Amino acid sequence: MTRVFLTGGSGFIAVHVLEALLTQGHSVVTSVRSEAKAQMLRDTFPNIGKDQLDFVYVADIAQEGAFDEAVKSDPPFEWVIHTASPFHFNITDTQKDLLDPAIIGTTGILRAIKKNAPTVKRVVVTSSFAAIFSPKTGNRPDHTYSENDWNPITLEEAIQDPSSGYRASKTFAEKAAWDFVEKERPNFEIATVWCPQKSNPGRTHRGLQMNPPIVFGPIHPKLQTLDTINTSNQRIRDMILGKMQDEIPPSGIHVWVDVRDLALAHVRAAERPEAASKRFFVTAGYYSNREIADDIQELLPEVKIASRGGEFPAEYFKYDNSRTRDILGINFRSLKDMVKDTIPTLQALGA
């Protein structure tokens, strides 16, 4: 049994990481913003005792020293899995409201581990496709995205608007993590895990144009409502509720991953020696909203969904997920299996 610190444990991705860790018998302390979030997790895992699941409270991970006390543990931690992201309110200053919190949120925990948790040997950081996707390259079919790519966005470009700032924040935060390890030479090694993410502006949330990750999969009903589920799953919800009878909207980015495979990738990036000092592009491959609609109608023939829209484009970029398959040993779930397993969890919420 390994002692693990998991940040942001009530998040959609993080709770699946937590479930994977608990299933394997590890002892986990996870950070949450409030006692209410901690209680939701206790209710989600009612048969897990305090010796295997405990909590620390970190209200704002972008504050200097936010994790200084959280990473102290008896017994001490061996792994840290950092999934938490700063909480964004109204964006008035891209540098102050987006870039700085993202960088501080990442380097802050690395600094805290180096100072207060010398037993930690591996840190896994959740990153984003935004850190590799280049708007200049875009969806060109002659380009293959892999762990060798970096988003070339500059600071000057980043501060032009919140959408660019958001993508830059993911890029700069991951680069800051690698720079920290190179310069500070801590006792631990890191690995970064990133998943598909929209490259085009997404929904507006309190002044920020979000680019939500294309991560589908089952919902833990004690942690979500139909109104608060992650943005990617909202399209499945809306199809089930009959809200796409006229036309299926565009898919956004056309690569995806099942949240359970993404969670397992985090755990294996922590436990496998050969994963040290590597980036991992965790994607199951291509999808389209049209395919999701077809799978839903096969499972729920009474649901009415439009027959047009949501198709896969004629040309698209290529991807290389061989490192994730070869080193982490991930055998990705199919889109149809994801849809089949997700529908009942949405129906449990009232869909």
Residue pair 282/238 in contact (Cβ under 8 Å)? The answer is no
pLDDT above 60 for 99: yes
Burial class (CB in 10 A: 0-12, 13-18, 19+), 321: buried
pLDDT above 60 for 199: no
Q: Give the per-residue SS3 of 273-298.
A: HHHCCCEEECCCEECCHHHHHHHHHH
pLDDT above 80 for 239: yes
* Choice among 50-54, 108-112, 199-203, 243-247 with the minimum mean pLDDT: 199-203
234 vs 26, 76, 82, 243, 266, CA distance in Å? 32, 39, 25, 11, 24
Residue pair 267/20 in contact (Cβ under 8 Å)? The answer is yes
The pLDDT, as a whole number, for residue 88 is 64
Each residue's pLDDT tens digit, 63-96: 999 999 999 999 999 999 999 987 665 678 889 8
pLDDT above 90 for 20: yes
Q: Rounded to whole angstroms, how far apart are CA atoms 107 and 100?
A: 10
Residue pair 158/175 in contact (Cβ under 8 Å)? The answer is no
* Choice among 10-24, 73-87, 277-291 with the minimum mean pLDDT: 73-87
The pLDDT, as a whole number, for residue 244 is 97
Bridge partners (DSSP) of residue 76 are none
Q: Rounded to whole angstroms, how far apart are CA atoms 240 and 231?
A: 15
Mean pLDDT of 273-298: 96
The pLDDT, as a whole number, for residue 66 is 96
Each residue's pLDDT tens digit, 117-153: 999 999 999 999 999 998 888 889 999 999 999 999 9
The pLDDT, as a whole number, for residue 209 is 27
The pLDDT, as a whole number, for residue 197 is 62
pLDDT above 60 for 207: no
User: What is this structure's pTM?
Assistant: 0.94
pLDDT above 80 for 206: no
